[in-house]
Amino acid sequence: MASIAAEALAARIKAAHHIVVLTGAGVSAESGVPTFRDRQTGLWAKYRPEDLATPEAFRRDPETVWRWYEWRRSILEEIKPNPGHFAIAELEALPREFALITQNVDGLHAVAGSRNIIELHGNIGRTICSVERCVVSSWTLAGSAPPKCPNCGAHLRPDVVWFGESLPERPFIEAQDHADRCDLFLSVGTSTVVQPAASLPFMAKRSGAFVVEINVDLTPLSHVADLVVREKSGFFLPSVLELLK
Ligand code: NAD
């Protein structure tokens, strides 16, 4: 039987004209992708992700940072989207204005069938030159990692936004525009602490949207959201979609 929260959200979705979904690492947790709040395993247990995903770490020790991303990519090769990703892709198919904004770099929303995805933090599947920022799709590794850009010889790096770096301008402007105009905003599996993405649900709330948080834990948004659902997104979202059929 559907929960009261699922029924409440389904009713909001039916009445909404413009729905925005913001996702974070929690939406991929049920697929087996570790969040940054999860304890690191194996080789990487002695590092904090916040100490590796930075431009300073890359300058200091590019090989370790590159190897960490190789490890994260190797995890992703085995991984599939979960029912939460598929439910979000189904929301996009409803006849309403819709935007999916993600902080995730894992590409799982696209695999699940989402089409218009605003990727705020890049995509781990892409590699760029650390100087020219152009996308590089093939390289040869001569000597130690990371490989070098075939054009200019600088180190290659993953096309992700590291802590302390600015977000790509256009996607964030687009995300702000949707947050400002929507009437229903779902914040799913994000700790709502990494700025500036964390500002989006608050902006939506200020602009009059009904804000829903779906997260297994308390976040800074919990006290502000109109509906807080303490359930796993991969369990809760499909139950809402069922009510829309
Ligand atoms: P985060 O790790 O800070 O927070 C994850 C949140 O998800 C937590 O609040 C946790 O309580 C919640 N959560 C965990 N499992 C859940 C579930 N099954 N259902 C609902 N909620 C669940 O992640 P963040 O807020 O996205 O920010 C951290 C940064 O880490 C971002 O910049 C992101 O780019 C990066 N990151 C991305 C990935 C990925 O692409 N999958 C993985 C790790 C980190």
Closest CA to 76 of 106, 46, 102: 106
- Share of residues in the chain with pLDDT > 70 (%): 97
Superfamily of 36-78+125-160 according to CATH: SIR2/SIRT2 'Small Domain' (3.30.1600.10)
Closest CA to 227 of 245, 244, 215, 241: 215
Residue located via tokens 């300058």: 59
Q: How far is the CA of 150 from the centre of ligand 1 (A)?
A: 34
The answer on pLDDT for 40 being more than 70 is no
Superfamily of 4-33+80-121+166-243 according to CATH: TPP-binding domain (3.40.50.1220)
Catalytic residues: 121
pLDDT tens digits, 145-204: 899 999 999 999 999 999 999 999 999 999 999 999 999 999 999 999 999 999 999 999
pTM of the model: 0.94
- Asked if residue 146 has a cis previous peptide bond (ω within 30° of 0), the answer is yes
Residues whose CB falls within 8 Å of the CB of residue 245, separated by 6 or more in sequence, listed in order: none
Q: Output the pLDDT for position 43.
A: 60
Q: How far apart are CA 85 and CA 41, in angstroms?
A: 24
Atom of ligand 1 nearest to the CA of 106: 40
Q: Output the pLDDT for position 41.
A: 66
Q: How far is the CA of 143 from the centre of ligand 1 (A)?
A: 34
Q: Which of 35, 75, 85, 240 to mutate to test the pocket of ligand 1 (most atoms within 8 A of CB)?
A: 35
Domain residue ranges in the chain = 4-33+80-121+166-243, 36-78+125-160
Contact 100, 108 (CB under 8 A): no
**Ligand 1 pocket check for 191: Cβ under 6 Å:** yes
**Ligand 1 pocket check for 217: Cβ under 6 Å:** yes
**Ligand 1 pocket check for 106: Cβ under 6 Å:** yes
> Is there a common fold for 4-33+80-121+166-243 and 36-78+125-160?
no
Q: How far apart are CA 213 and CA 230, in angstroms?
A: 8
Q: How far apart are CA 64 and CA 85, in angstroms?
A: 31
DSSP state of 149: P
Q: For 135-161, b where at least 16 C-beta lie within 10 A, e where not — what string?
A: ebeeeeeeeeebbbbeeeeebbbbbbb
Q: How far is the CA of 76 from the centre of ligand 1 (A)?
A: 15
pLDDT tens digits, 103-142: 999 999 999 999 999 999 999 999 999 999 999 998 888 7
Lowest mean pLDDT among 26-35, 47-56, 210-219: 47-56
